[in-house]
């Protein structure tokens, strides 16, 4: 009986959905971008080194600090992103793939203009962020495309 209960507990723990998930990549400038999502909580964005984050969002008390997700389908692929608003700036962590190509990284916008962009050295795998019930981005496809092509 004890073995049976232990097996049930272990099986239950292994099959339970993850409560929080972190998406992290090292950027071409050797800094890191990290997004942590957890059901029922506001996602967190961090940029910098593991020892010293330079930017952490959302900023408490900032009226315009929404967090949104979006996706776009292409012929043979698609992209997904999470966007953090901070006043006039938008920090977009994205991944996309198609037939024989992929892009993943961080783009910073002021209004609708890209003012900074960095490519991830490794795949970010941000697609799962769409499964956390975050608000859909209604800003159109401006953030869904590869910022390297803009």
2 domain residue, yes or no: no
Tokens of 81: 């992103």
Boundaries of domain holding 114: 18-132
Domain-located, residue 50: yes
Q: Tell me which of 6 and 48 has the higher pLDDT.
A: 48
| 70 domain-assigned | yes
How many domains are contained in the chain? 1
Q: Is 143 domain-assigned?
A: no
Render pLDDT for 58-92 as a digit per residue (tens, 0 to 9): 887 666 678 999 998 878 888 899 999 999 999 99
Q: For 36, phi and psi rounded to 5 degrees? A: -115, 125
Q: Is residue 12 part of a domain?
A: no
Q: Is residue 52 part of a domain?
A: yes
Whether 62 maps to a domain, the answer reads yes
Question: How many Cβ atoms from other residues are within 10 Å of residue 145's Cβ?
Answer: 17
Residue 146 falls inside a structural domain: no
This prediction's pTM: 0.81
Identify how many contiguous H helices and E strands the chain contains and give both numbers.
1, 9
**What is the rounded radius of gyration, in angstroms, for the C-alpha atoms of the chain?**
17
């Amino acid at each position: 009986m004890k073995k049976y209960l232990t097996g049930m507990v272990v099986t239950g723990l292994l099959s339970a959905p993850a409560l929080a998930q972190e998406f992290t990549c090292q950027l071409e400038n050797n800094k890191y971008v990290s997004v942590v999502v957890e059901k029922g909580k506001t996602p967190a964005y961090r940029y910098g080194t593991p020892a010293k984050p330079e930017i952490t969002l959302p900023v408490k008390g900032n009226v315009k600090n929404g967090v949104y997700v979006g996706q776009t389908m292409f012929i043979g692929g698609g992209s997904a992103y999470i966007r953090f608003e901070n006043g006039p700036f938008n920090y977009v962590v994205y991944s996309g793939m198609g037939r024989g190509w992929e892009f993943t990284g961080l783009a910073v916008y002021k209004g609708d203009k890209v003012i900074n962009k960095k490519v991830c050295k490794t795949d970010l795998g941000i697609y799962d962020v769409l499964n956390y019930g975050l608000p859909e981005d209604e800003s159109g496809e401006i953030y869904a495309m590869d910022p390297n092509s803009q």
